[in-house]
């Protein structure tokens, strides 16, 4: 099976005062196309650094990162920006919605950057807002929506152009149990329906229970890689 993501011997060290923190310590990982993986670690264990490295937001000190068969750790800033625009969807803990735009306008924003025409943008954004359960809320701005609804807008924006890979960093951190379960059900549905590869960084036990593959990290290394029966 072809790989969506391949990481080879990744190393990344940060300085904190006089101390050196090994965020990634000769870490190797492969994730197949259509995979659904959770990266779990205590705070400072390296999961967010790994997620950001896979997404081209951070560069390793050494090692290789491959996305869909292309090595990206040596790519230029413009090449990485194009990769993120065309092939990767991001869902952040802080949502990162634009306050002055409606839900639909926030979803359309990425497509606008991609040069998608008005009619197609409108059609695709309405379709994905329906998929994430936000019919009737298209014209609401973020401040007029609950945390769970805002997170669904962020998910809709991440998946509207059908990226091959979605990276989510602590996506349930601001959600109650019901909203968190609902979001994970949505991720699972999108993964199964469209074959989208999902990589989720979290320390939320609710999320870990939902995924078929759990990769546990500690001090920048993988300490366990578990295939499990998702709830």
pLDDT band, residue 44 (cuts 50/70/90): confident
Q: What's residue 15's pLDDT? A: 85
Q: What's residue 179's pLDDT? A: 81
Crossing angle between the packed helical segments 147-159 and 177-194, to the nearest 10 degrees: 10
- For 223, phi and psi rounded to 5 degrees? -105, -15
- The answer, yes or no, to whether residue 231 has pLDDT greater than 70, is no
Rounded Cα distance between 164 and 186, Å, is 16
Q: What's residue 205's pLDDT? A: 87
CB 22 within 8 A of CB 218: no
Structure tokens that stand for 161 in this block: 């152009």
Cα–Cα distances in angstroms (integers) from residue 76 to residues 40, 60, 89, 139, 145, in the given order: 29, 14, 19, 37, 38
pLDDT for 181-192, tens place per residue? 888 888 898 899
In residues, how long is the chain?
231
pLDDT band, residue 173 (cuts 50/70/90): confident
Q: What's residue 230's pLDDT? A: 65
Q: What's residue 124's pLDDT? A: 93
Q: What's residue 29's pLDDT? A: 97
Q: What is the mean pLDDT of residues 123-128?
A: 92
Domain 3-227: state its class.
alpha beta
pLDDT for 71-117, tens place per residue? 999 999 999 999 998 899 999 877 889 999 999 999 999 899 999 99
Q: What's residue 1's pLDDT? A: 54
pLDDT band, residue 60 (cuts 50/70/90): very high
As a dihedral over the C-alpha atoms of residue 142, residue 148, residue 31, residue 161, rounded to 10 degrees, the angle is: -40
Q: Left (φ > 0), alpha (ψ -120 to 50) or beta: where does 132 sit?
A: alpha
- Percent pLDDT > 70 in the chain is 99
Q: What's residue 185's pLDDT? A: 87
In the chain, beta strands by DSSP E: 3-16, 19-32, 36-40, 62-67, 70-71, 88-91, 165-169, 197-202, 213-218, 221-227
Nearest to 108 by CA among 88, 127, 81, 95: 127
- Percent pLDDT > 90 in the chain is 60
Q: Domain segments of the chain: what residues? A: 3-227
Predicted model pTM? 0.90
């Amino acid at each position: 099976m072809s790989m969506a993501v391949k990481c080879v011997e990744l190393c990344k060290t940060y300085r904190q005062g006089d101390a050196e923190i090994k965020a990634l310590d000769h870490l190797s990982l492969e994730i197949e196309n259509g995979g659904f993986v959770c990266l779990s670690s205590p705070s400072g264990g390296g999961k967010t650094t790994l997620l950001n490295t896979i997404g081209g937001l951070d560069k390793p000190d050494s090692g290789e990162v491959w996305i869909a068969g292309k090595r990206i750790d040596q790519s230029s800033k413009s090449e990485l920006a194009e990769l993120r625009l065309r092939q990767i969807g991001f869902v952040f803990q802080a949502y990162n919605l634009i306050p002055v735009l409606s839900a639909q306008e926030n979803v359309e924003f990425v497509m606008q950057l991609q040069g998608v025409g008005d009619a197609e943008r409108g059609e695709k954004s309405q379709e994905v807002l329906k998929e994430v359960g936000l019919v009737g809320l298209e014209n609401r701005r973020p401040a007029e929506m609950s945390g769970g609804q805002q997170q669904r807008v962020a998910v809709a924006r991440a998946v509207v152009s059908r990226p091959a890979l979605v990276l989510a960093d602590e996506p349930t951190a601001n959600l109650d149990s019901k909203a968190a379960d609902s979001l994970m059900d949505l991720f699972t549905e999108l993964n199964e329906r469209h074959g989208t590869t999902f990589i989720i960084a979290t320390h939320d036990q609710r999320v870990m229970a939902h995924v078929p593959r759990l990769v546990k990290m500690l001090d920048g290394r993988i300490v366990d890689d578990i295939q499990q029966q998702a709830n």
